[in-house]
Structure 1
Amino acid sequence: MTLLQASEKDLPETGSGGLKGLLGKAYELLTSSDGDGRAGRNALIAFMIRIVSAAIAFISQIVLARMMGQHEYGIFVFVWVLVILIGNLSCLGFHSAQIRFLPQFEAANDVERIRGLTATARLFALMSSTAVLLVGLVALHFAQGLIESYYVMPLYIALFILPMIALGDTMEGTARANSWAIAALSPTYIIRPVLILLFMLAAVWFGAAQTAQTALVAGLAAAYVTTVGQFFNITWRLRRRFDRGPAKVEFAPWFRVAIPIFLIEGFIFLLTNSDTVVTGLFLAPSEVAIYFAASKTMALVQFVYFSVKAATAPHFSALFAGDDREALAKFSGQSVRWVFWPSLLVGLTALALGNILLGMFGEGFTAGYNVMVILFFGIMCKAAVGPGEVLLTMAGQQSLCVKLYVVALAANIGLNLLLIPLYGIQGAATAAALAMLVEAVLLHVAVRSRLKITLFVFARPLTARPVREDV
């Protein structure tokens, strides 16, 4: 049996085979009122938002790169990646712990805990990110002599963006837990990048310099406008869905679950962004700009994975809580196909148009085409096992996930430190691709051994009893 035959055999029966059958199953999911249908609709909504987001982000980055030039653009993207990374990590996992708990609380009609958890997550995000802001100000003051002068002022500006990044991620987690896909994703992935571009253009129109510092001030304003608006929107939605009343806070149990999630997602986030960060530490801003342009172009592929991840997490949690092992295995295999085949199509299209797309950023950016090719192979390795870490986390296997990502992150950082000084931006791409391969293999083995599910696009998922590990 060929791989293609195995893949087709594993597709759900819909009255006909091949592409027609797959389309029939997609229609069935999108019109169904059960859990699979809701997850399918959320996946489609998230997918469409990611398509629009990818287009907006790509266009805005082209405009910013052409306005600022390679050097200033390289400074901006390096600092912006740092602020997004640190802002997300400062939540310490509470933003995603909501996705683990809220569907279960709602299924049990435990409204008091829902109120307590959503309020606690917001307050914690603001307090922890503000603490990071204050520590960062002190550290930057005393470390100025060790930092390139062109990074100092952009880093100061970036520190004041941190609280809004953390609160925005928390609002996104609340919305995702309630399956509000549009409210969850559109502020971060559509509204904020549009506002950054508009504020930058307005600043330049009124005479501001076309520099990284100006772009980061635009980012600061956009982050505050977007997050404050999202805060009031999600608060209004929660009050409509759940009546006012007392709140029950169980901080210690929630925190015990949030920390492993923080470690898992932190390692994933570091895996995703460490190449840009290490590139910024070793190479000139102009080379950072080229690498970021190439990786941003390949992000057109990764939005498929993140869209499916955003939609499937609550359903994974509900299936495992309901002990429906057959449905869990079936949905797991389905989620892998949702990731892999669209990723393959988008990736091949991006490579075919690679030089044209990179050329839009400005002169010299086509030097990043080989980076695109290398990253594509790594992305497809990860796509072949789909959202494996989400399945493990929602099944209570946080501790195992932490161990897996310790290994993957160690490999990633070690490879970056080894290859970037030797091979520059191509070394960074190779390190990132190899780290994604390591991650995919570890997730495949872990899901198969603990949950008895074969998480691979060309395999049929198994449905033996999983190992339950409540943390």
Structure 2
Amino acid sequence: MSIGEVQRQSIASFVGQISFTFIGFLSTMYFAHTVGASILGAYFLFTAYYGIINMITDGGFGGAAIKRISEGEEQDAYFSAFFVLRSLFVVVVVSTLIGFRNYFIEFDDAGIFSWLLLALIASLFHGSVTSGVAGTGKMGVHAAGHLVNNISRIVIQVAAVFLGFGVAGLAGGFVAGLFIAAIIELRFFDLHFVRFEWWHVKSLSSFSFWLFLTSAGVILYSYVDTIMIDYYLSNSDVGIYRVVFQFASLATLATVAIRTTLWPKVSRWGKLEEIEFIEESLSRAFTYSLTLAIPVFVGGILFGDKLLYFFYGADFERGYLTLVILLFVQIVNIFHYFFTMYLGALNHQKDSFKVTAVSTAANIALNLILIPIIGIEGAACATLVTMGLSAILARNILSQIINIKIDNGSIFNILKAVFFMSIIVGCYRLLIPLSNVLLTLIPVLLGALIYGILILKFDVKMHDQFKEIATKMKIPWSSLL
């Protein structure tokens, strides 16, 4: 394809995200109806503890390796130094966990402590390969590997749950996905082990220190609500909250795809001092992310209660208010994601850490206060407040480095399209009882079609950009619009 590299890789990542989301939703629906909220809650706790411990084993060196490798100088040496450091961290952490196994009685009784250890070992193999692939700019391969990881994990999990393995089957599928994805990406991996010098380690460490602290804040930010919900409430509440959180993540599909693609590009542009590319990419990233997030937020308000009921079961319908809050969080999240990502990619990891440290501390405090009072809605509110705080702080710092541009015209066109779409599907909701899943899906699909047509009619710039992409991909534009 002759389309631009960033566009091509973003499209590949976005297609991967859509495919995974569709499969992920179907599998989660199956798990919700088969094993229930409590077993799902136990699995989400497994992934939460894995996320926190894996962050420790990574030590920030994964992101540092991507940064140094992406700069194009002595790539093999930086990769070799990263692999040795990461291996050392994994050995130390796994040995420590085995030594303190008696403190993980709940995990051991559930039969997933061993899976946690295997997951950490798998992360060494997977993290090394994916960091090398991403660092060399092969984001299409990276996106494909991410898709393979998720799809293979889900397929194995569905089979394991069907055979009655419960939470152990879910954890086992998680581990298998890491190994399979790493093997697939290894085919496109072209870095080599070479001798490296101490200064390579120091160069990685100088970047990884702040990246590790920032990552620690992000991981805690991502999982502290899950752990606190389990502490104050129950596994079932964890299951409902995380399922709703996953459902809300639909709003940031474009954000994740663009963010994944842009990180090594922004890093390279920063090294070459190509500021115009950086500023333009940030403006477009906001526009395309909000193009999806805003209509999904409105659609969630109109149909979220019925979608939760029909997709996951009656127990999950009580997560509707949490869903609405978390969908709004995803809009705020767009600015948080890109502001902090650009700070890190432009080698201002220390500033990114400061932002993350403040917001993480606030998040923990608010979760401690709100979850005992208003339950899972309290966790969602804590995330909303602190995500907004993080976005504001990060913007203030980033604005001193580059000019932050928002395409107000395109944002206004998005709001217009959403307004007319919501009137049409809102009337449907008022006039037709949503008594089954089909009657619920019809306005959702109708709303997506109406919004897609309206936004391309209202916004000439977006219309021309999509037309250019479609033309270069040999897709007849007249058949689309």
TM-score, length-scaled by structure 1: 0.79
Change (3 A) 1:202 1:383: closer
Aligned partner (choices 233, 238, 247) of residue 187 of structure 2: 233
Structure-1 residue corresponding to 2:437: none
Q: Does 1:170 align with 2:137?
A: no
Residue type at the aligned position of 1:73:
L
Structure-1 residue corresponding to 2:364: 413
Structure-2 residue corresponding to 1:272: 222
Aligned partner (choices 38, 56, 64) of residue 31 of structure 2: 64
Change (3 A) 1:200 1:383: closer
Change (3 A) 1:225 1:43: closer
- Equivalent positions of 1:42-441 (< 5 A) are 42-105=9-72, 110=73, 113-142=74-103, 144=105, 148=106, 152-188=110-146, 190-203=147-160, 208-230=163-185, 232-235=186-189, 238=190, 247-249=195-197, 250-359=200-309, 360-384=311-335, 387-441=338-392
CA distance in 1, matches of 2:324, 2:127: 31
Residue type at the aligned position of 1:51:
I
Instruction: Report deviation, 1:284.
Output: 0.6
Residue type at the aligned position of 2:242:
F
* Residues 175-233 of structure 1: CA deviation (Å, up to 9, x unaligned): 22223223213333x3233333333444455xx53421232233333333333443x32
CA distance in 2, matches of 1:310, 1:86: 22
Structure-2 residue corresponding to 1:463: none
Preserved CA contact (<8 Å) 1:177 1:314 = yes
Instruction: Report deviation, 1:395.
Output: 1.7
Aligned partner (choices 419, 422, 443) of residue 394 of structure 2: 443
Preserved CA contact (<8 Å) 1:337 1:386 = no
Q: Any unmatched runs of 5+ in structure 2? A: 411-481
Instruction: Report deviation, 1:56.
Output: 1.8
Higher helix share: 2
Instruction: Report deviation, 1:298.
Output: 0.6
Instruction: Report deviation, 1:143.
Output: 5.2
CA distance in 2, matches of 1:415, 1:326: 39
Change (3 A) 1:385 1:424: closer
Change (3 A) 1:211 1:376: same
CA distance in 2, matches of 1:142, 1:265: 25
Change (3 A) 1:57 1:126: farther
Residue type at the aligned position of 2:175:
L
Change (3 A) 1:324 1:409: same
Single out whichever of 409-418 and 79-88 deviates more from structure 2. 79-88
Preserved CA contact (<8 Å) 1:358 1:369 = yes
CA distance in 2, matches of 1:50, 1:66: 24
Instruction: Report deviation, 1:396.
Output: 1.8
Instruction: Report deviation, 1:390.
Output: 1.8
Residue type at the aligned position of 1:172:
T
CA distance in 2, matches of 1:356, 1:378: 20
Residue type at the aligned position of 1:264:
T
Change (3 A) 1:431 1:103: same
CA distance in 2, matches of 1:149, 1:333: 45
Q: Any unmatched runs of 5+ in structure 1? A: 1-29, 461-471
Residue type at the aligned position of 2:361:
A
Residue type at the aligned position of 1:199:
I
CA distance in 1, matches of 2:376, 2:173: 28
Secondary structure of 1:387's aligned partner: helix
Instruction: Report deviation, 1:320.
Output: 1.5
Change (3 A) 1:303 1:90: farther
Q: How many residues align?
A: 407
Secondary structure of 2:288's aligned partner: helix
Secondary structure of 1:453's aligned partner: coil
CA distance in 1, matches of 2:304, 2:2: 37
Give the share of equivalent positions with the same residue, in percent: 18
Change (3 A) 1:178 1:287: same
Instruction: Report deviation, 1:423.
Output: 0.9
TM-score, length-scaled by structure 2: 0.78
Change (3 A) 1:441 1:161: same
Preserved CA contact (<8 Å) 1:118 1:174 = yes
Change (3 A) 1:458 1:285: same
CA distance in 2, matches of 1:138, 1:459: 59
CA distance in 1, matches of 2:79, 2:371: 42
Structure-2 residue corresponding to 1:15: none
Structure-2 residue corresponding to 1:40: 7
Residue type at the aligned position of 1:187:
G
Residue type at the aligned position of 1:258:
S
